[in-house]
Amino acid sequence: MLVYLDNAATTKMSETAKRALFDATENVWGNPSSLHTVGQEARAALEGARERIAKLLGCEAREIYFTSGGSEADNQAIISAARYGAKKGKKHIISTKFEHHAVLHTLNRLEKEGFEVTLLDVYENGMVRIDDLAAAIRPDTCLVTVMYANNEIGTVQPIREIGELCRARGVLFHTDAVQAVGHIPVNVKEESIDMLSLSAHKFHGPKGVGVLYAKRGIVLTNIIDGGAQERGKRAGTENIPGVLSMTAALEESVAHLDENANKMIPLRDKLIDALTKIPHARLNGDRDHRVPGIVNFCFEGIEGESLLLMLDMNGIEASSGSACTSGSLDPSHVLLAIGLPHEVAHGSLRLSLSEYTTEEEIDHVIKTVPGIVEYLRNMSPVWEELENGTRKHLI
């Protein structure tokens, strides 16, 4: 049995998304900037997709900008707000300690240019506190950027409250909603969101395509200069097959949001209940405020990497956290942000489900993980010290 539980890293394309990709590749291959019929057919398909995405997010078509994915959308949102703020003498940005690197590394770059960045604490439960945000906003704050759902531990932030607070205080609000859109209900208007990033490959669409939503009136800065595509804000011939496939995937995901959640949540919770029974194991992130698909555990006394290799040998494909940190010996910044000691953060396991995950697969995981954890602990000198009392258990 092959069990794919790394859907937070990427998802397999749905049949609908594949069909839309093939159809567009065959039939809508023109350049939307061309004035002839083939070009204008591509233009019509592109603008149709923009309308359809806008409808799903609760905004207007002209507020949708197609990008190469979540990372580019995050970069453009943050840099735009920073450039606009700087013109008005506002060079303070608020974010959180556990953002995706597409956000954190962009903020690092701006810090080097003289911006000041405040990173909010996310506490042991992996949640931002609205009072902390209220206290952090200053007269020179030009942007608040808080992710909708965390990609490693799955916690969902109080986005509507954050949006309302930012609106009331006159500060732009961006959210990296890559792990939320297509998984839980998102509506930019109802939640007072000014800018939002999403990525197709996290909801069974193709890789290399995403969206930046920017509320009308927001001045965007180009990340890519060139032609006048995307209202002059993102140069490059449009990825029409990618956009049409993403649109089909998102329509399908949003149409089945409740159905998928009702299927996934019991499986997620069954997995959480079973893994919680392993001694010296800990669920990371608030148990209730989480997306339907993400489960993250730490097991004391083992290395996450060894666990992943042994799971792979047993047909279970998982992750220790972020795809970006693999190959690095540093523990995840997300797990450190929720207060885990380094040695515990090293023993992490992220299992991320999709609507295609079956109960049989979850049962296989529940049967397999405890034995592997025990096997690895029995080989570990650290575990021996923990058990004979020369080292203190941390969890």
Ligand X SMILES: *Cc1c(COP(=O)(O)O)cnc(C)c1O
The piece of 46-54, 175-183, 352-360, 374-382 that touches ligand X (CB under 6 A) is 175-183
The minimum distance between CB 148 and ligand X, in angstroms, equals 8
Q: Helix %, strand %, coil % for the chain, to 5?
A: 45, 15, 40
Binding mask 138-157 for ligand X (x = CB under 6 A): ---------x---x------
Which residue of 7, 14, 71, 380 would you call a contact of ligand X, by CB under 6 A? 71
Report which of 138, 154, 156 is spatially closest to residue 146, judged by C-alpha positions.
Answer: 156
Which residue of 32, 69, 242, 293 would you call a contact of ligand X, by CB under 6 A? 69
* 199 scored as a contact of ligand X (CB under 6 A): yes
Instruction: Write down the catalytic residue from 59, 142, 166, 324.
Output: 324
The piece of 32-40, 56-64, 66-74, 242-250 that touches ligand X (CB under 6 A) is 66-74
The minimum distance between CB 180 and ligand X, in angstroms, equals 9
Q: Within 205-224, which residues bind ligand X (CB under 6 A)?
A: 210
Amino acid (one-letter) located at 80: S
Whether 166 is catalytic = no
When the beta carbons of 49 and 302 are compared against ligand X, the nearer one is: 49
In the structure encoding, which two tokens stand for residue 72, read together?
A: 């580019």
Is residue 360 classed exposed, middle or buried when 0-12, 13-18 and 19+ CB atoms within 10 A define those classes? exposed
- E runs forming strands in the chain: 3-4, 64-67, 92-96, 116-120, 141-145, 172-176, 195-199, 210-214, 281-283, 294-299, 316-317, 348-352
The piece of 69-77, 160-168, 253-261, 360-368 that touches ligand X (CB under 6 A) is 69-77
Chain position carrying tokens 């969890």: 395
* Cα–Cα distance measured from residue 68 to residue 198, given in angstroms and rounded to the nearest whole number: 10
Report the helix count and the strand count for the chain, using DSSP H and E: 13, 12
* 293 scored as a contact of ligand X (CB under 6 A): no
Q: Within 84-123, which residues bind ligand X (CB under 6 A)?
A: 100, 102
Coil, strand or helix at 28: coil
In the complex, the residues that contact ligand X under the rule CB under 6 A are 69-71, 74, 100, 102, 147, 151, 176, 178-179, 199, 202, 210
| Residues with catalytic function | 324
